Amino acid sequence: MLNVIFDLDGTLVDSVADLQVAVARALEEEGEPPLELATIRAFIGNGAPRLIERVMQHRFGRVDPQRHQDLLRRFMHHYETAPTARTELYPFVAECLRELAFKGHQLALCTNKPSAISRRILEELGIAAHFSAIVGGDTLPVKKPDPAPLRAAAAALGKRSTLYVGDSEIDGETAERAGLPFLLFTEGYRKKPLSEIPHLHSFDDFQRLPGMVAVWTDEQRQAPLPV
């Protein structure tokens, strides 16, 4: 059996609508109009502080540190009020996780979103029970693409062969730096073409993922034992 570690936003869940609403409410408090959904989608990646940096650069043309902290605080307040009001699992995610867990694979989450709200999202969307470990953006002093969070998630699951599943160039870089094989979900928030993201295989439908994991499991079983 394998360890299978997942990213969250853009991989398991489509969260852009709730992020857009939280950004819009924070901007409204400054007398600013909201940003388009497509604009927020393009800004996702590297965690909430980076999202707000991109929002400020886009709207104000600069990032003032004090204003950034204030806007980030208000954004998080609005987001934490209702993080799953518009957020949905991608199709067949729940079924995929249930099948992987049933077959004995250990599952973990590695995300740049804070761990508490990540757990809340998993719970409210009914998939938290499948995860044995959660490493969030506040678990360690560093975030992805630093490989430390992914390595920590793998260590929490124990010594097994490990796959990482994500949707973006950030996830691809993280997996490469951690020395782990990467499966790329193509329907998330990536900004680069597939050819520029290092990955073992790609998929566009979570119905395919259990079969891909099974093939990798069989390959690992057939690999020669180390001398």
Residues catalogued as catalytic? 7
Maximum Cα–Cα distance across the chain: 67
Angle at Cα 172 formed by Cα 41 and Cα 58, nearest 5°?
30
d(CA 37, CA 45): 15
What are the backbone dihedrals phi and psi of residue 217, each rounded to the nearest 5 degrees, phi first?
-60, -45
Contact criterion met (CB below 8 Å) for 4 and 182: no
CB atoms under 10 Å from CB of 227, counted, come to 3
Contact criterion met (CB below 8 Å) for 26 and 74: yes
